Structure 1
Amino acid sequence: MKFVVGCLVAIIIGGVLLVFGTVSPCGMLREVQRKQDSVAAVLPDAVLDLALAAKYGSLTPGKCVALLLQLSRTAKNSVPQQPTQPVAVTKPVQPTDFQTAMQAASTVMAECRDRRLRGEIKTRLDSVQCSNPRVTQIFSAAHYRYMDLIEMMNSRREAIAKKQDQGQMTEEQAATEAQSLMAQLANIERTRDLRSNLAASAPR
């Protein structure tokens, strides 16, 4: 009996990992938000966690489970029942080069943030200035095509951190501002790519 239960648990955990890439309730909540929101899809974990905390309050595993159940019920109620049809198997969406580099950059940002929390770095601005040079190196090494957008991101992050240090912006406001910044960068990138593709396909 214990063996059967163990197998069932292993299957359930395997299924959760396959769908969400994590067994953490808050990690699953993060991935659900990314699937439902194109802006959230490009946010690094640290920024998305701040945005979720600003929206729902402090997150705990129990609260994340409750939010997942709530979002599941909302999705079921909002989608009308449709006749069952064969579903075409699609390839998973590959992350853009910006998203891939941003994942690595978010790790660097988190390291500098943790140094501030330990008292090794005094201010939020110091924390951002700690990570910005390495963030630039990461995107440069990834051969990201719009490095001016990274300069823009770094500059805006410094401005946000400075306002927080001066008491002119709360954590929630900073998270909202960061989310808006990432959406703006993603839109600029898409617009430039579209123009580039149109120019390349135009008859000569």
Structure 2
Amino acid sequence: MSPALLAALSGLGLGLSLIVAIGAQNAFVLRQGLRLEHVAAVVGVCALSDAVLIAAGVAGAGALVTRAPGVVTVVCFAGAAFLLVYGLMAARRALRPAALLPDASGARTGLAATVTTALALTWLNPHVYLDTVVLLGSLASTHDGQRWWFGGGAALGSVLWFSGLGYGARLLRPVFARPAAWRVLDAVIAVVMVALAVSLAVRGVTGG
């Protein structure tokens, strides 16, 4: 196996191991996939954002991030505020059964609002920077001349995961034909978002 292919596979494996977890991005992509709303746009925004951040990490931006604690603190508090609001919105949906099935009322979220939310859930989440810019960027440097192959593999992992999650979610639509299933999903999303908000606020207070 060539060094380039080995580096790419290593990046793919590590990228998937970091991204396949319950988090802000995944919860949002899953919900949009279930609603069949702007799935391509959401998948594209999340995958492209990850690719940009991974490229920045491979290029060496991770070292700059770790040397700017003030910037990290600001992003932590901004991200915590956004995730808290989003979590409270999910909790509100879970407590209002009438608002759970958009197909029943015909109400849909606009493309601009959806893309803005996807961007905010990505770029206002310091965990994303730590995983992509800092961690993947640092590990890419261990592959020397093959580091861009490593980064490419990690970016491919993001594309595969978000595409599978966004478009595969429709297979679960029969389960979510019942309002109770939406209530459970939004309750879980609310808990995840609030927990992430608290962890970011704590990180901001402690400075890391």
Shorter chain as denominator, the TM-score bin is under 0.3
Query: Normalization by structure 1: what TM-score?
Result: 0.25
Query: Normalization by structure 2: what TM-score?
Result: 0.25
Give the number of the structure with larger relative contact order, counting CA–CA contacts within 8 Å between residues 6 or more apart: 2
- Larger Rg over CA atoms: 1
